[in-house]
């Protein structure tokens, strides 16, 4: 039964489809409307996931080429990798904390001012897993572990969308949709930095290209060209032999770089299409839940929900965040001379894309182009340094060559681990 529950709750498409179905049933819609809304919602999430898969595949090649080409070894933050390792030992704790944590989220949204239902299923799984690890390492077990973990998970599922919502309203221009992704501290930090250094009236979307470069207004084309430049740099650093023998299956390394760059841009295009389909279905369906079970509740949806509102900020934010990650890595390499054994956090291209792109949109909302660049750069530094302090509280998993990547995991894990340590 636990395995079945975990299978349902850890598949975002099924989870959000069920929420859509419950909302439509609560509105007493006809069978045809319920089927159409539920299936289209699931389809939108699957389309988004397919696009993310394309983008991640291309970024994985980029990360491998970056590490080999520049000869740098260290810890690569990657949520899926660390959770995959942890579930072998902490699977039961994770399933129970996740199931009861979602119930806690609904109760908190019902009886407190935090009116957000967190719908990003895979991030719920990851946070439940991390909380379970830290509580177990801290000596908790049984009912106590599940109770504390569930309440904490339910709280963060409502709290982080709440602190993101003021900026979210600026981005979307409405109060209908919340934001549900556990790197919210990085996005709020980006928005704050953006408000200090920028001018929101000079948006990334108002960039005036010369007539000869007007074609760059097509965001898919702009993403393709920028990624092609980046891929060519790391491909030349690796050399053709490595790329063609280890990655491309014999395909010319320059052709391989071209294909991967355009694959990445295609993935982003598909992500945006999926987001539009999800929003068209989930917001009306969620009205049923908001008006019956949890009055005035808002669905908190994954980070690509903001991408269509500022496509230029998505690309600029990714690049700025990645630069922040490289700068942070350089600082750690220098600090390692004074503090031997310090983890060297490499810039994971996947978190820097998804988190950096989102940070760029948040920074743009409060500070325009300058806010986008500075905010995403600051967020890139944040997700580089937080894992350094998170790893010691993860027990044996803290010595793995990967760790949790996003800001909220770092903050929650560091606070929880140190509070447990002080109470011992």
Mean pLDDT for the stretch of residues 157-185: 94
pTM, rounded to two decimals: 0.81
Give the model's pLDDT for residue 10: 61
pLDDT for residue 254: 92
Least confident of 39-48, 112-121, 253-262, 384-393: 39-48
pLDDT of residue 401: 64
Per-residue three-class SS string for 114-172: CCEEECCHHHHHHHHHHHHHHHHHCCCCHHHHHHHHHHHHHHHHHHHHHHHHHHHHHHH
pLDDT higher for 256 or 63?
256
Please check whether residue 390 is in contact with residue 409, taking contact to mean a CB–CB distance below 8 angstroms: yes
CA-CA-CA-CA torsion for 161, 162, 164, 167, nearest 10 degrees?
Answer: 130
Among 8-17, 365-374, 385-394, the range with the most confident prediction by mean pLDDT is 365-374
Which of 204, 202, 398 is closest to 319 using CA atoms?
204
By CB neighbour count within 10 A (0-12 exposed, 13-18 middle, 19+ buried), where does 3 fall? exposed
Report the C-alpha gap between 253 and 241 in whole angstroms.
8
- Determine the Cα–Cα distance for residues 343 and 388; give it in Å rounded to an integer: 6
Q: Of 7-21, 157-171, 174-188, give the lowest mean pLDDT range.
A: 7-21
Tens-place pLDDT, residues 64-123: 888 888 777 777 787 877 887 787 788 778 878 887 888 899 899 999 999 999 988 788
pLDDT in tens, 236-261: 988 999 999 988 888 999 999 999 98
Length in residues, the chain: 424
* Mean of the per-residue pLDDT values of the chain: 86
User: Nearest CA to 53 among 271, 242, 248?
Assistant: 271
Task: Specify whether the CB–CB gap between 133 and 86 falls below 8 A.
Answer: yes
Task: Identify the pLDDT of residue 164.
Answer: 96
Q: Residue 298, SS3? A: strand
Average pLDDT for 30-47: 88
Predicted local distance difference test score (pLDDT) of residue 27: 81
Rounded Cα–Cα distance for residues 382 and 392 (Å): 17
- Residue 383's pLDDT is 94
φ, ψ at 128 (rounded to 5°): -60, -40
Q: Which residues of 144-183 are buried (b: 16+ CB within 10 A; e: fewer)?
A: ebbebbbebbbbbbbbbbbebbebbeebbeeebbbbbbbb
The share of the chain scoring above pLDDT 70, in percent, equals 92
- On whether the CB atoms of residues 362 and 303 are closer than 8 A, the answer is no
**C-alpha span between 416 and 182 (Å, rounded):** 16
- Of the candidates 372, 379, 380, the residue with the CA atom closest to the CA atom of residue 197: 372
Q: Could you read off the pLDDT of 273-299 as tens digits, one per residue?
A: 887 787 777 767 766 776 677 888 898
């Amino acid at each position: 039964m636990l395995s079945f529950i975990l299978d349902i709750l850890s598949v975002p498409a099924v989870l959000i489809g069920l929420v859509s179905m419950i909302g439509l049933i609560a509105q007493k819609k006809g069978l045809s409307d319920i089927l159409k809304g539920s299936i289209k919602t699931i389809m939108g999430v699957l389309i988004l996931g397919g696009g993310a898969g394309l983008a991640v595949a291309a970024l994985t090649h980029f990360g491998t080429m970056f590490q080999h080409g520049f000869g740098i070894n260290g810890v690569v933050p990657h949520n899926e990798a660390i959770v995959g390792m942890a579930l072998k030992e902490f699977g039961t704790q994770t399933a129970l904390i996740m199931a009861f944590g979602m119930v806690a989220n609904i109760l908190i949204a019902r009886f407190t001012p935090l009116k957000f239902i967190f719908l990003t299923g895979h991030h719920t799984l990851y946070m439940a897993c991390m909380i379970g690890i830290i509580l177990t390492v801290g000596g908790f077990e049984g009912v106590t572990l599940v109770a504390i973990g569930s309440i904490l998970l339910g709280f963060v599922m409502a709290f982080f969308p709440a602190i993101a919502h003021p900026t979210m309203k600026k981005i979307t221009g409405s109060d209908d949709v919340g934001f549900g992704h556990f790197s919210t501290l990085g996005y709020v930090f980006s928005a704050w930095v953006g408000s200090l250094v920028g001018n929101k009236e000079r948006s990334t979307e108002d960039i005036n290209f010369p007539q000869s470069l007007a074609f760059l207004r097509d965001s898919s084309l702009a993403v393709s060209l920028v990624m092609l430049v980046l891929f060519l740099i790391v491909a030349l650093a690796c050399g053709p032999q490595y790329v063609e023998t280890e990655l491309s299956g014999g395909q010319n390394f320059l052709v391989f770089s071209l294909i991967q760059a355009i694959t990445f841009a295609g993935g982003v295009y598909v992500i945006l299409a999926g987001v539009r389909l999800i929003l068209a279905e989930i917001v009306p369906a969620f009205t049923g839940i908001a008006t019956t079970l949890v009055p005035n509740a808002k669905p908190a949806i994954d980070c690509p929900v903001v991408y269509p509102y500022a496509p230029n900020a998505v690309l600029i934010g990714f690049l700025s965040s990645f630069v922040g990650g490289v700068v942070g890595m350089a600082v750690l390499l220098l600090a390692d001379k004074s503090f031997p054994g310090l983890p060297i956090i490499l810039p994971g291209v996947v978190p820097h894309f998804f988190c950096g792109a989102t940070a760029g949109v948040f920074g743009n909302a409060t500070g325009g182009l300058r806010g986008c660049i500075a905010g995403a750069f600051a967020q890139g530094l944040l997700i580089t340094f937080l894992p350094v302090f998170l790893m010691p509280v993860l027990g044996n998993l803290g010595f793995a060559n990967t760790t949790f990547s996003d800001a909220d995991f770092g903050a929650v894990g560091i606070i929880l681990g140190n509070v447990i340590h002080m109470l011992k």
